[in-house]
Structure 1
Amino acid sequence: MSPIVVQGSDAPRHARTSPSRSRSAARSRAIARAHAPAGAAAAVATGAGTGQKESAFGHVDGVVATRSGTGTKTDAALVDTPVAISVVTQDQIKAQGVQSVSQAVRYSPGVRSEVAGADARFDNIYIRGFVADQYLDSLKLPYFGIFAYPVIEPFNLERVEILHGPASVLYGQSSPGGLVDLVSKRPTLEPYHEMFFSTGSYGRAQGGVDLSGPIDKNKEFLYRVTASGFDVGSQVDHTEYQRFSIAPSLTWRPDNDTTLTVLSTYQRDPKAGFYNQLLPNGIGTITPYKGSTIPTSFYSGEPSFDKTDRTLGMVGYQLEHSFSNNLKARQNVRYMDLSTDFAVVSPNSVTDPTNMTRGAYTTQETIRSINVDNQVETRFNAGPFEHTVLAGLDYLHAVDQRLNGALSVVPAINALNPVYGVSIGPVPYTNNVHQSLDQLGVYAQDQIKYDHWIALLGLRHDLAQSRTDTLTYATGTTAVAPKSDTAVTKRAALLYKFDSGIAPYIQYTESFQPTAGTTFAGSPFAPTTGQQEEVGIKYQPNAKSLYTIAAYNLIQQNVLTPDTDPTHGVGQRVQTGEIRSRGIELEAKTEVNRELTVLASYTYLDNIVTRSNTATQLGKHPVGMPMNSASAWADYTFHGGALDGFGLSGGVRYVGETPGTTANTFYVPAVTLFDASLHYDFSALGPMFKGYSAQINATNIFDKTYVTLCQDIGCYYGLRRNVIATLRYKW
C-alpha cells in the first residue's frame, strides 16, 4: 500500500514571510485542500474524530467502513467492489476490548479464529475453511517455518480487513479461502494524542500511548508514534504473556505530487505463549475420564523448561508520485526480521490423562524477508467507459533458518494431579534447516465503469522458487530440495449498482499456493490451485450502514494425502486430494442513530473432502470447521439526560458443532458465548473532564467451560471469562 493525501484543513497563513516561505505555505495549503486521490494506501490521515471524508486506509469514525483498498489495491467504495470484504475498524477494536488480531475478527462472517484457546502463540485465522495468509499494508507477512510467526499488536493498527475468497491475482501465492490485510496507523494532518491504562483478570497490567500530528507549521512533515505493553497471566497455571511494542512513522510531503512515509515497528514478546494441547476425542475434557475432568488450569509442560521468546523488527516505506491527475506510481517496501526461541515439553498421543507420556522439543528460528510492490495506476475514458488500470510488479525474498532439537521421552504427568519440577537433560540437536523463498509476480487489473455497471478484470503471472537444505545430525548428511513453480491466475467480476444502494454482483477468481516437500520418487509437489464462483448482493442505504450477502463455490486441488503404497514407506504423501467449500455469508453493520450501533453476521459452511486416496477421509468434513456460526453485537450510548455519556453493549457468539477427527467419528459440541461492556465519557460531567473515558469489557461473561477445537492428536479448551477495565485520555 502506498501514500496518498486526504483532505485536511488549510495550513496556517504566515504574514510578511519570505517568498520561499510563502511558496511553502501555499504549497502546504494546496496539499491539505486536495481531495484524496485513488491509491493503494493513505499514509496521511486526518486523525480520529475529525469528521473528514473517509479514505480506504485512514481512520473510520465508528464501526462502519465504506471504503477499502484490500480488494483492488486502490481506494474504492466497498459497495462498488464485487467481492466480499469485511472491515474491522479501530473504533470497533477499542469498543470490544480486543487484545489480538484473531480476537478482532470474532464478529466477522466466514471466519474461524482463536481455535487454540488460551494458546495464543499464533494469530491463525481461517476463512471459508482454509487458513488465511496475513498481510501488513498489503505486503505479505511470510510464515513458512514452524514457530517463527509474526504476531502484530492490534493497538498499532487502523483497521483489520478480511478479503473473502482467492486473491492471487493481486497478492500472488495465497490461501484459497482469502487473506487478512492489516492496515497500520499513519501520521495525521491534525494533532491526535491518546493514552490508556488497563487492568483486569489474571493480573493484567497494560498501557499505551498514540501520538500524532504535524512537525512543522506547513505540515510538510508529519509524525506518529504508537507504543504499548502488557504483562498478564492466563487461565492456565504457570503461564504468562508479556509484550512491548513501539511503532514510529514519519511522512514527508515535499510537494503537491509526492508523498513518502516511513513505517517501522519493534516488538518484543519475552513470554509469547505456550503449547497446551490435551487428549484426543475429548477424553477428560468433553467426556469425563473415570468420572473426572481435566481442569482448564492444567499445564501439560514443565514451567522451568518451556519458553516462547519472540522478537520482531520491521522497517519500510511507502512512496507515491503523481505525474498528473490520471497517472501515478507507487513503491512499497518492507524489511522484516523475526526470531523465536521456543522450547516445550508436550504430551504424546495418549488416551490416559493420569499417565500422559511426554516429549521435549526445541527450536531456534529466524525469518528475514524483504517485500517490494511497484505499481502504476492510470485513469482514462474510452468512449462511455471509465477505466482505472493498475499494473504492478512485486517481489518477495524470505529466508528461514531453524535449529531443531528433540527428546522422545520425558517423565509422564498426571493431568488430574500434576507435579512439576522433573529434570530434563540437554536436548540434542536433530537437524538444521535452511529454507529460502523467492517470488516474482507481474499483474494487471482494470476497473471499468459504464453507467451503473462496474466490471473488474485481473490477470497475473507468478514465478516462485524455493530451496530447502536439511542437515541431519544423526547421519551427518544434508538433503537439498530445490523447487520452482509458475502460475497464471485470473479474476473477472461484474456488479450493477442501483440508485437505491443495492448492488448485486458475480465473480470468478483463482488462487495458487506452493506446497513444500517431495513425493516418494523425489519429485517436488505441485502448487495447490483454487477456483471460486461467487454471487452476492451489497446494500448501502446511507454512509453509516452496509449489508452484504455472499454465496460461493470454492474448490482446492492438489491437496496432500497419505501415500497408500506400502513399498514407499511410512509418512510419504501424494497429491490426490481435493476439498470443496460451499457456503453463504451474511454481514450487517449499521449505526441506526446517534445512540444505537448494531453488528450481525451468519455463516453457513459446507466444506468437504471430495477426492482422497484414504477412504476414511473421502466425503468427510475437515476438522475444526463448523457448518453454522453466527454473532451479534449492539451498543447503546446515551446522549443527554441523567445518563448522558453512559453506554452499554452486549454480544453473542455461536459456533456450531465441529468435526473432531479427520474420519468424523467424533464431534466437538456447539457453544454459545456472551460478551458485555459498560463505558462512560466523563466529558458529560463538564469541560474539565473532556477527553477522559472509562470502559469495562467482559468476554464469556458466564464463564462457560468448553472445548474450542479437537483434531486427531488432541483438543484445546476455549477461553474462560476475561474482564478488562480501561481508563483512556485523549487530547
Structure 2
Amino acid sequence: MKNLVSIPIFFLLTTLAFSQNAKVTGTVTDNNKKPLFGVNISLVNTTKGTQTNKKGHFEISTSENGNHTLSISHLGYRTKEVSITISKNQTTKLGTIVLVEGNEILNEVIVQGERRNKFSRKKTAYVAKLPLKDIENTQVYSTITNELLQSQVVTNFDDALKNATGVERLWASTGRGGDGAGYYALRGFSVQPQLVNGLPGLTNGTINPANIERIEVLKGPSATLFGNAVSSYGGLINVVTKKPYIGTGGELSFTSGTYGLNQIVGDFNSALSKDDNLYFRVNTAYTSEQSFQDAGFRRSFFVAPSLSYKVNNRLSFSFYGEITQSEQTNPTFLFLNRSAPTASSNLEELGYNNKLSFTSNDLTLENPTQNYRIEMDYKLSDTWQSQTLLSKSSTSTKGYYSYLFDLGILEGDTYSRFISKQNANTQTTDIQQNFIGDFNLASLRNRIVIGLDYFNATETNNNTGFAFYGNVTPNGGSNGDNPFTPEIEDTSFPLSTSGVDAVLESQDVSNIKSKFHIYSLYASDLIDITDKFSAMVGLRLDHFDNEGDLANPNDDFDQTTLSPKFGLIFQPIKDQLSIFANFQNGFTNVAPQLVGNPDAGPQTLQTFDPEQANQIEFGLKANLFNNRLNATISYYDIKVKDRVITDPSSPFNNIQGGEVVSKGFEIEINANPIQGLNIRAGFSNNDSETTESDNTEILNRRPLEAGPETLYNFWANYEFQEGALDGFGMGLGFNGASERFAINYESTGEFVLPSYTIANASVFYQADKYRIGLKVNNAFNKEYYTGWTTINPQMPRALLANISYQF
C-alpha cells in the first residue's frame, strides 16, 4: 500500500518541479548574421548548459531564479557574457547575440541592438594579462569607453583622460625629445601614457583619439606585470586600439570648432579574403588647430592599419600599426624659480596675460611617431594558450623647443627665454612570450599567466645646447638684458628661425647615444579557493642592464629586482559585489654613486638596491541591478622607500633612507538607471608628503608632482528612446580640482594655483546611419590653470560641431 501511495507522490513532485522550470532562448550568429553551430552556452555558477543547433538557436531549461550571467563561447570568437533575469514559469528571450571574432575577451554584447551601461566596460585581458572581469580582479582601474568619448565629442587625448577618476594633467605635451608626451598626476605621482594594447607604445607628441577603443588607467604600482619602464608608482595608462572584425563597415566623421579646429576621421573595415579569414581595418585622421593665445598651432596626420588572420580555430595572427606625422609649436608655459622666492606669490600679483604665447608660428617642432605590434595566438589545449608579442616604437623630435624660466636674477617677475634646436630619437623593442592557462588543480580553479619579457630602449640626442634668447614679463613686456652678463643690454631677439639659428651657432651640438635592456620573468595566478573567495599572487624577476652613454663605459651598471604582488577578493554576492584587498609593488633602478672624501684619497663607487614603492589597498566593487550600476570604492596607502639621500653622519656618503607617503581614497560610479540615460562620476582625495629626506627644501611638504588633493568629474548623457524626440539627446557634466602648489619649497615658499570647476554640455541627434552633435567646453568661460613648478593656462570656452556617418 505504501508503494502505491509513493508512486503518485513521486509523479506529483516531479510535475511540480518541472512546472517551476524557466527557459532561456536565443540565437547566436557571427558579424555577417550567419548562424553559428556548436556554440557553448552555459549559465555561470550552475551545471546548466547547452550548444546551439545548425540554425544557431539554443534553449536552456532551469529551475534557477533571479539575476544570472549567461556565458557564450566558441573557438576563434570573443567570449560574451549576458546579464539576464530568470523568473519561474517564464521564458527569457534574448533574441540575436552576435559573436565577434578575436582573441581579447570583451564585455560588449550586441543583444537586440542595445547594451546597458555604455560608459562601463569592465572586462579586459590587459590589466591582469588574463581575461578577467573587474569584479574578480584585485586591482583598481578606470575604463574610458569609445561611447563615452563619442558622447563628449572628444577630439584630443587630454580631454579623454578627464573622465578617469583621480587623474589631472600636470602639463601638456611639449614635443621635446625624450619625454615630450603629456604628464599626468595619478595617486600622488607623475605618469605618462606609454602603453598601447598592453605593450610599450611611445610618443613625444599627443595621442590621436581616432583609433581609441578605450583607455584603461591602472591604479597603483604595477611593476609585477608591466615592469618599471612604462609605469609609475601611481599607476599606468594603457590605450586599447580598434581592431578588425568580421564584416564590412565603417564611419566618416568631421568635427569643427573654435580656435580653428578641424578634424576629419575615417574608419573602414573589410575582408581581404573571407575564405582565408583575413580582415583589414584602417583608422585615419587629420587634425588642424590653432591656439587660443596670440600664436600657436598643431597639425597632425594619423593612420592606423590593422590586420587579423585566423589560420584555423587554434592559430591566429594580428598586426597593428599607428603612424603619426605632426607639427606644433611647443607650449611656452612659465617655469617658476625652484631655489628662490618669485616676486609674486599668486596669479593676482603676477598679472599674467594668458592670451600671450611668448612664441611664434615660425618656431615649430615635428614629432613623427611609429608604433607597430605583431601578435600570434595559439591554442595549445583546452586549458592552455600561447601568446607571442612583438612591439616596436620610434618617436622623434625635430625643430625648436623653448621655455621661460624665472632665474631670480633680474628684478620683478622677469622670465628668461631659453631655446634649443632639437634633433632626438627614441627607439624601443619589446618581445613577450606568455602562456595563459585556465585549469583545476586539486579542485581549485587556477587562471595563470607565465611570461618572458625583453625590453630595449635606445635614445639618440643630437640637440644643441640651450641659448639665452631674451626676457619677458607675464603681462607682455620684453627686453634683451642677458642675466649672465654684468652690463645692461638691449639686444633684439626676433622670434624667427633665422634669428634663433644665428644665436644657436655658438652652441655645442650633443652627440649622445644611450641604451638599456630589461630581461624579465613573471607569473601571476588567480586561485578560486571557493566559489566566492579568490587569491591572486604574482612575482616578477627583473634584470636591468644599463649601457648608458655608449661612448662612456664608466656609466654602465646592472641591477636585479624581485617585484611581488598579492591580492584577496571575496564576493558575498557572486558577480555583483566583491570586497578586495591588494599589495602591489613598483621599483626604480638606482645608479651607483661615488662616495668618500676626495681630500682623503680616490672616491669609491657605491652600489644601491632599487628604490621600492609598496601599496596596500582595500575596497568594494559592485555590479548591481543587472549591470545598471558599476561602482568602485577604494582606500590606498603607498610608501616609497630606499630613496638615496646624503648620510646624516657623513656628507661624503649616501644611504637609502628617503621616504614618500601617498594615501587617499577614490570613488567611481557608472550607472544606467533607465534606458537611454548613462552617468559617469568620480571623486578622489590624495594626501602626499615627503617624510624622510636630506633635502630640507621638500621635507614634510607635498610633492609638486602629486597635483591637487581633490579631483572630481561627472558626465550624464540621455537619449530619448521613443516618440517625436526619438534619437535626440543631451549631455551635461563638469570637472574640477582643488587648489594645488605650483611651487612649494623651503626657500621659495608657496605659489598656489586656485581651485576650479569647469562645466560642459552637448546636444545631439542619433539616427540609424548618422549622428549630429554640438558640444560646448568650459561653458562659463572659466579662467583656470594647471602646473608642476609651472603655470599652464587652460582652454577657455570652445564650441564644437560634429557630424558622422556610419556605413
Q: Distance in 2 between matches of 1:45 and 1:192?
A: 21
Per-residue CA deviation, residues 705-728 of structure 1 (Å, 9 max, x unaligned), is 1221252xx422222222221110
The CA deviation string for residues 293-352 of structure 1, in whole angstroms up to 9 with x for no partner, is: 222121223543x32210011222111000221111001111112111142333232466
Cα offset for 1:677? 1.2
Aligned 8 A contact 1:46 1:189 in 2: no
Distance 1:590 1:566, change over 3 A: same
Deviations 1:425-445 (A, max 9, x none): 242225322110101110111
Please point out which of 498, 505, 510 is paired with 2:580: 505
Does 1:555 find its partner at 2:654?
no
Matches within 5 A, 1:493-642: 493-499=567-573, 501-515=576-590, 518=593, 523=606, 526-541=609-624, 542-559=626-643, 576-623=657-704, 625-642=707-724
Aligned partner (choices 484, 502, 505) of residue 558 of structure 2: 484
- Alignment partners' CA distance in 2, 1:372 and 1:97: 36
Post-superposition shift, 1:616? 3.2
Give the drift of 1:44. 6.0
Aligned partner of 1:36 in structure 2 is: 78
Whether 2:548 is the aligned partner of 1:464: answer no
1:698 partnered with 2:776: yes
Q: Give 2:740's aligned residue.
A: 658
Checking the alignment, whether the CA contact within 8 Å between 2:330 and 2:402 is kept in structure 1 is: no
Residue-by-residue CA offset, 1:611-633 (whole Å, 9 max, x unaligned): 11122321111115222221211
Q: CA deviation at 1:660?
A: 2.5
Q: In the alignment, what sits opposite 2:527?
A: 448
- SS of the equivalent of 2:135 reads helix
More deviation in 529-538 or 697-706? 697-706
- Does 1:667 pair with 2:749? no
Question: 2:356 matched to 1:298?
Answer: yes
**Structure 2: distance between partners of 1:235 and 1:303:** 13
Q: 1:77 aligns with which of 103, 119, 133?
A: 133
8 Å Cα contact 1:48-1:61 kept in structure 2: no
Q: Distance in 2 between matches of 1:236 and 1:435?
A: 37
For residue 454 of structure 1, report the CA deviation from its aligned partner.
Answer: 1.6
- State the 1:270 CA deviation: 2.0
Q: Which moved more, 1:413-422 or 1:429-438?
A: 413-422
* Partner SS for 1:169: helix
Amino acid at match of 1:676: A
- Counterpart CA distance in 2 for 1:410 and 1:517 is 37
Q: 1:283 to 1:49 in 2, by over 3 A?
A: farther
TM-score by length of 1: 0.86
Question: Residues 119 and 397 from structure 1, CA distance in 2 versus in 1: closer, same or farther, beyond 3 angstroms?
Answer: closer
Let me know the Cα RMSD of the aligned residues.
Answer: 3.4
* CA–CA distance in structure 1, aligned partners of residues 691 and 697 of structure 2: 12
Distance 1:282 1:234 in 2: 28
8 Å Cα contact 2:279/2:309 also seen in 1: yes
Q: Which amino acid aligns with 1:192?
A: G
Q: Is residue 2:246 matched to residue 1:189?
A: yes
Give the aligned partner of residue 796 of structure 2: 720
Matched letter for residue 729 of structure 1: Y
**Kept in 2: contact 1:578–1:609 (CA 8 A):** yes
Counterpart of 1:406 in 2: which secondary structure? coil
Aligned letter for 1:579?
V
Q: For 2:331 and 2:516, how far apart are their aligned partners in 1?
A: 28
| 8 Å contact kept, 1:246–1:267 | yes
SS of equivalent to 1:324: coil
Deviation at 1:119, TM superposition (A): 9.0
In the comparison of the two structures, how many residue pairs are matched?
682
Q: Is the 8 A contact 2:117 2:670 kept in 1?
A: no
Equivalent residue in structure 2 for 1:439, among 505, 518, 527: 518
Gap change, CA 1:95 and 1:717, over 3 Å in 2? same
Cα deviation, residue 125, structure 1: 2.4
- What does residue 382 of structure 1 align with? 441
Q: CA deviation at 1:470?
A: 7.6
SS in 2 for 1:661: strand
CA distance in 1, matches of 2:382, 2:106: 25
Letter in 2 for 1:205: N
Contact 2:175–2:204 (CA<8 Å) still a contact in 1?
no
Q: 1:152 aligns with which of 180, 189, 207?
A: 207
Residues 270, 515 of structure 1: alpha-carbon distance in 2 compared, 3 angstrom cutoff: farther
Shift of the alpha carbon at 1:527? 2.9
8 Å CA contact 2:660, 2:691 repeated in 1: yes
Residues 335 and 403, structure 2, Cα contact 8 Å, conserved in 1:
no
Name the amino acid aligned to 1:388.
R
* Letter paired with 2:511: N
**Helix, strand or coil at the partner of 2:110:** coil
CA distance in structure 2 between the aligned counterparts of 1:600 and 1:34, rounded to whole angstroms: 36
* 1:406 correspondence with 2:471: no
Letter in 2 for 1:705: E
Contact 1:371 1:394 in 2 (8 A): yes
Tell me which residue corresponds to 1:16: none
Deviation at 1:248, TM superposition (A): 0.5
Q: Secondary structure at the match of 1:94?
A: helix
Task: Work out whether residues 646 and 680 of structure 1, in 8 Å CA contact, stay in contact via their aligned partners in 2.
Answer: yes
Counterpart code for 2:616: E
Unaligned regions of 5+ residues in structure 1, if any? 1-5, 14-25, 143-147, 472-477, 684-689
AA aligned to 2:371 is M
* Identity of matched residues, %: 20
Instruction: Find the residue that maps to 2:434 and give its secondary structure.
Output: strand
Offset from partner CA, 1:199-256 (integer Å, 9 cap, x none): 1111111101111143333471111100001110012222100110000111111101
Q: 1:629 to 1:584 in 2, by over 3 A?
A: same
Q: Do the aligned residues in 1 keep the contact of 2:637 with 2:663 (CA within 8 Å)? A: yes
Q: 1:567 to 1:388 in 2, by over 3 A?
A: closer
Q: Which amino acid letter does the alignment assign opposite residue 572 of structure 2?
A: F
Q: 1:383 to 1:587 in 2, by over 3 A?
A: same
Deviation at 1:517, TM superposition (A): 7.7
**AA in 1 matched with 2:585:** E
Which residue does 1:122 correspond to in 2? 181
CA contact (8 A) 1:84 1:164 kept: yes
Give the 3 Å change call, closer, same or farther, for CA 130–652 of structure 1 in structure 2: same
User: Counterpart in 1 of 2:195?
Assistant: 135
Task: In structure 2, give the amino acid aligned to 1:551.
Answer: Y
Task: Quote the offset at 1:11 in angstroms.
Answer: 7.7
Does the Cα contact within 8 Å between 1:274 and 1:307 map onto a contact in 2?
A: no
SS in structure 1 at match of 2:147: helix
1:301/1:346 contact within 8 Å kept:
no
1:60–1:89 Cα contact (<8 Å) kept: no
Q: How far apart, CA to CA, are the structure 2 residues paired with 1:567 and 1:45?
A: 54
SS of 2:273's equivalent?
A: coil
Change (3 A) 1:158 1:60: farther
Partner of residue 223 from structure 2, selected from 163, 168, 174: 168
Distance 1:356 1:604, change over 3 A: closer
Paired residues of 2:117 and 2:629 also in contact (CA < 8 A): no
Query: How far did 1:499 drift?
Result: 2.4
Structure 1 contact 7–32 (Cα < 8 Å) conserved: no
Aligned residue type for 1:701: A
| Aligned AA (2:785) | V
Which residue identity does 2:760 align to in structure 1? D
Pick the structure with greater CA Rg: 2
Q: CA deviation at 1:417?
A: 3.5
Partners of 2:315 and 2:303 lie apart in 1 by 27
Shift of 1:695: 1.0
Provide the rounded CA distance (Å) in 2 between the counterparts of 1:53 and 1:369.
Answer: 44
| 1:421 matched residue in structure 2 | 494
Amino acid at match of 1:629: L
Kindly provide the CA deviation profile for residues 545-567 of structure 1, in whole angstroms up to 9, marking residues without a partner as x: 21000101101123366899998
**More deviation in 109-118 or 382-391?**
109-118
TM-score with structure 2 setting the length: 0.78
